[in-house]
Structure 1
Amino acid sequence: MKSFFGYPGGKSRLATRFVKQGVFNPVLPITEYIEPFAGGFSMGLTLLKEYGPFPVRINDIDKDVFVLWDVVLNPKERNELCQKVMSFKPTLRDFAKVKSRILADKDKCRFHRTRVERAFDKLLVHKLSYSNMGEKAATHVGGKSQRADDGTPKQWGFDVRWNPAEICKAIVRVTDMVKVQTAGNFQVTFDNVFDLLSDISPKTLVYLDPPYYVAGDKCYKHSFANNGDGKRPTNKHEDLAKALKGVKWRWLMTYDNAEAVKKLYPGQCAEVTLNYQMSSAYRAGQSLKPNTELVISNFPPLLKPFTNENVHV
């Protein structure tokens, strides 16, 4: 199920494919579900729709992601957010303004934004940004000039994804489904992932989509390559592998196809190849490019052989 909130590395189409191929059949029925790296929460939405109801906890260390999800699940704040979306008409300068505000603010709240204002900023920056990369994108959709090489205006401009009625419809569709399929037992947190993983009950299913090993620092404000303060930490990818080793609860994880990741999970990695393409490239008519990701799990049997499938994100 597609989220209302586009996010780098989103898994909506891959989630549908997993359901079709019965990837999660060995762990059904799901009695409790956790996503430590929530982002757009596409995998969890698909599982809820297909296999719910069950309790859910989503977590993201990015406070802006946390606030956005927490706001849309609060009826009063959801209405305020949708009213703000419906009344707003973005300009070319808005992407840079909001990006700057988010990157400067972090968790210091120096701009004294309300929760709804903070949620709106996060939603807006992802809708306007190149390939849903939000504040990590270098520019908005269509580039700075909004023109092709021959000087003509690009067919798809910076606001191509800003359709207020459709955005609000998607927010309502997603949050109403979540409330029904979790019977209101839905928790949103922004905990450190390692603290979260240290206290999980044995019957829980955990889906992990950690920051990319190779390009995580380019895609995420809180990647495993930085602490947010300019200091390089210990290898958190290795720390994650250690945290998952020998746990009693069931987990499935997707990762970029890096040799270093395969070494961390010997004998547990399967490759899934998608004909993958950024939405901007798709709209420009560029050809599809095969992209292989790793699927890692501690509950065999895991996967049937995967074949190429066209995916536009």
Structure 2
Amino acid sequence: MNPADHSRLAVGFAMFFLNRTNRSGILNGGIIGGRNQTGPWKIDARYNANKLVTRIEAVARMKQNITLSNLDAVNLINQGAKKWPPNTLVYLDPPYYEKGRDLYYDFYEHDDHKAVADLVQDKLSKQHWIVSYDNVDAICEMYENRRRAIYSIGYSARSTKKGSEVMFFSDGLKAPALVGPIVATEEPTSEPIETACYRKAMVG
């Protein structure tokens, strides 16, 4: 498909469809349930048309309050930290640490992940924030003093003993309950991490 041969609406819908029907919303992450649809979750696990229409309409009603940018996370944080009010909730979902090179056109190296981690924990001290990642030792060490939840997403989880994803929370933020197709390996904690996340998740 050459985007230039189609309208912006058609290209936008194609991206939207792939985001909702591929694993973790990644364009080349593979179809939920596999090509033969033999997995426990099928291609429509995240594609409930009626609910999605409701969400899109809700976003449309708020469009005057939404600003789109194409900034790198470092630049976005540096700019936003100066103007975002204290009640702002910042959600960051950086590229996967381990498989980012295989999944994204633009991926992060170790130092890129470290730069974002340092900025989030330094510059966003007045705002609330959540950061989600693949559950790997290197990332857990970057956020070792932060509360976290460890989980797997049901339609892509291969093991419930070791959570494949991790979410970190700023101080003072009430961590949400994990619902939907999410399989919690370790529920949100009130204490900071003491050792690598994935090792703690495997205990027991």
Q: TM-score range by the shorter chain?
A: 0.5 to 0.7
Match of 1:113 in 2: 6
How is 1:292-311 mapped onto 2 (pairs within 5 angstroms)? 293-300=165-172, 311=182
- The answer on 1:161 being equivalent to 2:44 is yes
How is 1:232-251 mapped onto 2 (pairs within 5 angstroms)? 235-247=111-123, 248-250=125-127, 251=129
Separation in 1, partners of 2:182, 2:16: 23
Match of 1:75 in 2: none
Task: Pick the aligned partner of 2:134 from 238, 256, 267.
Answer: 256
Report if the CA contact (8 A) 1:274-1:308 is conserved: no
- The answer on 1:135 being equivalent to 2:20 is no
Match of 1:224 in 2: 108
Report if the CA contact (8 A) 2:135-2:150 is conserved: no
- The number of equivalent residue pairs is 175
Shift of 1:240: 0.6
- The answer on 1:178 being equivalent to 2:36 is no
CA change 1:170–1:223 in 2 (3 A) is: farther
Separation in 2, partners of 1:162, 1:297: 27
Q: TM-score, normalised by structure 2?
A: 0.63
CA change 1:142–1:179 in 2 (3 A) is: closer
Match of 2:155 in 1: 278
Report if the CA contact (8 A) 1:257-1:294 is conserved: yes
- The answer on 1:215 being equivalent to 2:99 is yes
Separation in 1, partners of 2:151, 2:138: 21
User: RCO higher in 1 or 2 (8 Å CA, sep ≥ 6)?
Assistant: 1
The percentage of aligned residue pairs carrying the same residue is 18
Report if the CA contact (8 A) 1:274-1:309 is conserved: no
CA change 1:139–1:311 in 2 (3 A) is: closer
* Partner SS for 2:91: strand
Match of 1:199 in 2: 79
* Partner SS for 2:144: coil
Shift of 1:273: 3.4
* Partner SS for 2:130: strand
For residue 277 of structure 1, what is the amino acid of its counterpart?
Answer: G
For residue 267 of structure 1, what is the amino acid of its counterpart?
Answer: N
Report if the CA contact (8 A) 2:31-2:43 is conserved: no
Separation in 2, partners of 1:246, 1:178: 30
CA change 1:246–1:183 in 2 (3 A) is: same
Shift of 1:184: 3.4
Q: TM-score, normalised by structure 1?
A: 0.44
Separation in 2, partners of 1:294, 1:287: 14
Shift of 1:210: 1.4
Q: Determine which structure has more spread, i.e. the larger CA radius of gyration.
A: 1
- The answer on 1:189 being equivalent to 2:69 is yes
Shift of 1:115: 1.0
* Partner SS for 2:15: helix
Structure 2: gaps (5+ residues): 184-204
Separation in 2, partners of 1:216, 1:301: 28
